[in-house]
Structure 1
């Protein structure tokens, strides 16, 4: 349903019932729009392509890590969207991305070089307010190895902060491994991928 029509219906129902009834279905985004947003992200960023990693053969560990860092940057920028990216991209490249590279190198150090080709980027960044940036998974077992997330924190009386962290399969994704934080401002940040 087009956004303008949904908003119009919401206003009409609210006015007709003197504000006593608010149709919840009109307030939430439909799941089809979410799927369309993911599809649009793939079309806008053709380099974010999971099939690429399934066919890629890495000659050494350094090439693998460089390719994963490139994918991390692309997925992160896709998640930031056009409203957040211009504000935080420089600090992200300087602070967070090098820490992501270290995390990828550390976690994948448990994999023999010949098994690196089994590791792929598994997911598209999620929009809205969810945390997922991307996951690296073992293509044979279809299980995640490392999950990269960003959380929006708002401590009382302070600015909003983007907290970047990752989880690993070694501790069943329980521990937050900190990658760093980036300050936003007092104003509420826009939704991811907006």
Structure 2
């Protein structure tokens, strides 16, 4: 600080406080205030960066799960079903899967998300299983994604996509959507050309 500014500050403090506060106390009080403000700002920026990290980790988790979910779904469909329903699956079913996974992920802390993984291979033939997201620490399913072949009378065949959660012991069907196949019977899951 310039010498004249210091002297002016001493005179100003003395006049304003009628000599009750010395300039040294004023400088200390000012430094304490600045220190408190800096600490508060540092705490807020640390908290903000932690919140951003949690949001990033949540988004990263959902993105990774969606990439794997799409792969597992195409394995389940096989070479005969995939080309027929792929476009509608991408536009109708995948976004709803993403909503379900994101909603599920928001219910768990970051530490738990790091131990969640997708089951390796979809079930073959007549089983509904596409993939499950499970906790690798316990081996228990968190959410199960399935597809079922429906055949309403006189309407043809539909692929009914749905999921189950552990919250209701996998009892409720949470509907994701249906994709029309044809009047003819669809091939078995995982069929190749």
Aligned to 1:148, what secondary structure does the other structure show?
strand
Q: 2:67 aligns with which of 55, 65, 70?
A: 70
State the Cα distance separating 1:136 from its structure 2 match: 0.3
For residues 36-88 of structure 1, the C-alpha deviation after alignment (integer angstroms, 9 at most, x for no partner) is: xxxxxxxxxxxxxxxxxxxxxxx611011000000110000000000000000
| Residues 1:131 and 2:119 are matched in the alignment | no
Q: Please say which structure displays the higher CA radius of gyration.
A: 2
Q: Give, in whole Å, the separation in 1 of the partners of 2:138 and 2:187.
A: 36
Structure 2: gaps spanning 5 or more residues: 1-55
Find the aligned partners of 2:93 and 2:143 in 1 and give their Cα distance: 16
Aligned partners of 1:112, 1:150: CA distance in 2, in Å?
Answer: 29
TM-score where L is the length of structure 2 = 0.69
Q: Normalising by structure 1, what TM-score? A: 0.69
Q: Is residue 189 of structure 2 the alignment partner of residue 192 of structure 1?
A: yes
Gaps of 5+ in 1: 1-58
Q: 1:110 aligns with which of 107, 118, 126?
A: 107
In structure 1, the partner of 2:176 is: 179
Which consecutive aligned stretches of 4+ in structure 1 deviate over 3 angstroms post-superposition? Answer: none
Partner SS state of residue 178, structure 2: strand
Render the CA deviation track for 1:74-132: whole Å, top value 9, x for unaligned. Answer: 00000000000000000000000000000001112111012211101124111212100
1:119 aligned to which of 116, 120, 125: 116
Q: 2:167 aligns to what SS in structure 1?
A: helix
Greater share of helix residues, 1 or 2? Answer: 2
Q: Counterparts of 1:123 and 1:134 in 2: how far apart (Å)? A: 8
- 1:142 maps to 139
Describe the superposition over 1:138-177 as per-residue Cα deviations: whole angstroms up to 9, x where unpaired. 1111100000000000001111000000000000000000
Written as runs of structure 1 = structure 2, the 5 A alignment for 1:81-92 is 81-92=78-89
Matched ranges for 1:45-60 at <5 A: 60=57
The alignment partner of 2:187 has SS state of: coil
